[in-house]
């Protein structure tokens, strides 16, 4: 499973959406409530029909 890294720079502070980009197909999606530092989130790619991969997002504030 691929893993990408996100920070607060990728997060809309007002809405707490974090922009993530699938490492398999590069489609972007916004995930809600995914901003806990040091936590790994498993995301299922939902943005394109050919790609139903899961990938990990490691969220860190720095």
**Choice from 6, 22, 34, 43 touching Zn ion (CB under 5 A):** 22
Torsion over CA: 43, 24, 47, 37 (sign): positive
- CA–CA separation, 18 vs 7, rounded Å? 8
How far apart (Å, rounded) are the C-alpha atoms in residues 49 and 37?
Answer: 30
If the CB atoms of residues 35 and 45 are measured against Zn ion, the closer one turns out to be: 45
Q: Pick from 6, 45, 57, 59: which binds Zn ion (CB under 5 A)?
A: 45
Name the minimum Å distance from CB 33 to Zn ion. 21
Residues that bind Zn ion (CB under 5 A): 22, 24-25, 45, 51
């Amino acid at each position: 499973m691929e893993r990408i890294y996100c920070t607060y720079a990728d997060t809309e502070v007002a809405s707490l959406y974090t922009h993530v980009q699938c490492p398999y197909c590069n489609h972007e999606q916004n995930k809600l409530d995914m901003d806990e530092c040091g936590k790994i989130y498993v995301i299922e790619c939902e943005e394109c029909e050919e790609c139903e991969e899961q990938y990990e997002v490691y969220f860190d504030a720095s």
